[in-house]
Amino acid sequence: MPSLKHIRKRISSVRNTQKVTKAMKLVAAAKLRRSQHAAHAGRIYTDALLEITRRARAGQTCDDLPLLMQRRNGGKTDLLLLTSDRGLCGAFNENLLRQARFWVVDERTRGADITAVVVGRKGRDAIRRKGMSSAPILDITEPLPEGKVHAFAEQLRTFVEQRFREGKSERTVIAYNRFFSAGTQHVVFEELLPVGEGRGTARRAHTECEPIFEPTTSDVLEQLAAKALSGLIAQALLDSRASEFAARMRAMDNATRNASDMIGALTLQFNRARQAAITTDLMDIIGGAEALK
């Protein structure tokens, strides 16, 4: 049985860890409230922007569509993965990477040539360790800046758009943890390029007025495509950030509860060891007293 001193040190160590996990839970909860509001507000804007984009492109011929809206027949696909830069967030990254590996295998069986574009240090480290079905990997080494989601989304948009325009990719899909509530997040795969087809292409109703494009159709569609692409990436980043904080809050809450259970078990073990020591001392005293008679 461990000594009383050893058990006492373990109890003290677990209590100190519990203080850290409790503080991290409170910090994650505070950041979650802000991120949750930003994700919900951004989704309203993004859905409206996508609806406008789909309505604008509906009925247009392929020649009238800008390059970012044109469907290609090749199999070169970029998979943009949004992971976190820090750990201690439960299965947030592992769930995403596991489903991404399944998705890559499924797409490769269909003849697709997959290139993984990874955002987040944890995702890069995990893919280097486990690999992703021999898919090439492009690292976005810059961490996601706090409070500058839209600026970072513009950088990602420029990156994926350049690869699409240069013919290095013919389709771009983004994978991230979509935020629904503090207790519900799901991994989703959404098509970024070509723009306007990821969530289904809208068809204009017969009673709907024909849109008027100023100055020209190509100019309007070109700007809409760029705006929609930036909006989709920014919304994915907002959802991913909110999901990360929700996962970290749950993980730290579970760690705090486990620490309480461990403290209780160690306290019980300490009391039993102390009682055994007291009993041993009493037996020694009684045995010595009997020997003196």
Token digits of residue 192: 């970024």
* pLDDT band at residue 201 under the 50/70/90 scheme: very low
Among candidates 55, 221, 237, which has minimal Cα distance to 140?
237
List the CATH number of the domain containing 169: 3.40.1380.10
Confidence at residue 54, expressed as pLDDT on a 0 to 100 scale: 85
Q: Same domain for 136 and 268?
A: no
Host domain of residue 133: 31-248
DSSP class of residue 144?
P
Confidence at residue 133, expressed as pLDDT on a 0 to 100 scale: 47
* 3-state SS class at 224: helix
Q: Same domain for 203 and 281?
A: no
Q: Same domain for 70 and 186?
A: yes
Q: Same domain for 85 and 119?
A: yes
Q: Same domain for 118 and 193?
A: yes
Q: Same domain for 182 and 258?
A: no
Q: Same domain for 242 and 172?
A: yes
List the CATH number of the domain containing 275: 1.10.287.80
Q: What tens digit of pLDDT does each residue of 87-121 get? A: 889 889 999 999 998 998 899 888 888 888 888 88
Strands, E assignment, the chain: 76-82, 113-119, 137-140, 171-181, 184-193
CA distance 26 to 252: 9
How many domains is the chain partitioned into structurally?
A: 2
* 3-state SS class at 184: strand
Q: Same domain for 134 and 36?
A: yes
Confidence at residue 142, expressed as pLDDT on a 0 to 100 scale: 56
Q: Which residues pair with 188 in a beta bridge?
A: 176
User: Residue 46 above 80 pLDDT?
Assistant: yes
**Side-chain-facing half-sphere of 190: CA atoms under 13 Å:** 22
Q: Same domain for 106 and 11?
A: no
Q: Same domain for 96 and 190?
A: yes
Work out the burial of residue 228: count CB atoms within 10 Å of its CB; fewer than 13 is exposed, 13-18 middle, 19 or more buried: buried
Q: Same domain for 206 and 278?
A: no
